[in-house]
Amino acid sequence: MPDRTRHENHTAWQATVVTLFPEMFPGPLGHSLSGQALESGLWSLDCIALREFGLGRHRQVDDTPAGGGAGMVMRADVIAAAVDQALTKQSTSNLPRIYLSPRGTPLTQLAAKELAAGPGVFLLAGRFEGVDERVLEARDFREISIGDYVLSGGELAAMVLIDACVRLIPGVLGADASLNQESFEGGLLEYPQYTRPRDWEGRPIPEVLLSGDHGRIAQWREMRAREMTKTRRPDLLAPKTGKK
């Protein structure tokens, strides 16, 4: 039975996305757990179509980069018009404003947890060479990256961020216990998982997992999680420095 506490006592977690491609949404977010949660009102999605705020007959949203160079830049005035109209809704005015950008601070599980615990997110998805810096400053956008690579647009990045948050909203996943042992919880990657059949192509499930001894199973999982983290992501085990 999903926990509806948040939905009944508070407004649902809200995602507002300013985008040139509103038709891309909800896309994958409309399926499976996030889709069911959207349908049941645990979160809500509002897309602002940037093209509607474009200039002239062609509803132009971009222009050539000041100083020259390749590509086009999204105009500050057009983005501001879309953002300002969206912000007239009381429910969006208190959402953290985030521009999805490869220059941003990396999206982490901790960041997703913090955003999921808040009222929602107000996202700006870029296209072309990105957006005029002035609108980011003037409308107080922070920047978040979903990884060290360049996508063609911010829509997929927005979906990734929303998905990472939505599954953390109470009631979206069946068992809270499954969240506690996932990768990045406790600073480790998850241990390897197995299910039936007991033997597959000559590869048996590790005996300890069939022993019924919960103490030994927990020990084995911890050991495997540490091994995997050490070989694949030693950076997660390194002591964190730079904290002031």
Tokens of 147: 């990884």
- Cβ neighbours for 156, distance < 8 A, ≥ 6 positions apart: none
Interaction between residue 70 and ligand SAM (CB under 6 A): no
Tokens of 210: 């069939």
In the complex, least distance from residue 157 CB atom to ligand SAM, rounded to whole angstroms: 3
Q: By CB under 6 A, name the one of 18, 157, 164, 165 that touches ligand SAM.
A: 157
Q: What whole-number distance in Å separates Cα of residue 196 and Cα of residue 205?
A: 8
Near ligand SAM by CB under 6 A, which window of 52-60, 133-141, 151-159, 177-185?
151-159
Identify which of residues 21 and 194 has a Cβ nearer to ligand SAM in the complex: 21
Residue 146's alpha-carbon distances to 84, 95, 105, 121, 161, in angstroms, are 26, 19, 8, 15, 8
Interaction between residue 149 and ligand SAM (CB under 6 A): yes
Interaction between residue 153 and ligand SAM (CB under 6 A): yes
Q: Per the omega criterion (within 30 degrees of 0), is the bond before 239 cis?
A: no
Q: What whole-number distance in Å separates Cα of residue 241 and Cα of residue 244?
A: 9
In the complex, least distance from residue 107 CB atom to ligand SAM, rounded to whole angstroms: 8
Residue 135: burial class (beta carbons within 10 Å; 0-12, 13-18, 19+): buried
Q: By CB under 6 A, name the one of 3, 129, 190, 227 that touches ligand SAM.
A: 129
Near ligand SAM by CB under 6 A, which window of 95-103, 115-123, 183-191, 211-219?
95-103
Interaction between residue 102 and ligand SAM (CB under 6 A): yes
Binding site for ligand SAM (CB under 6 A): 100-103, 125-127, 129-130, 145-147, 149-154, 157
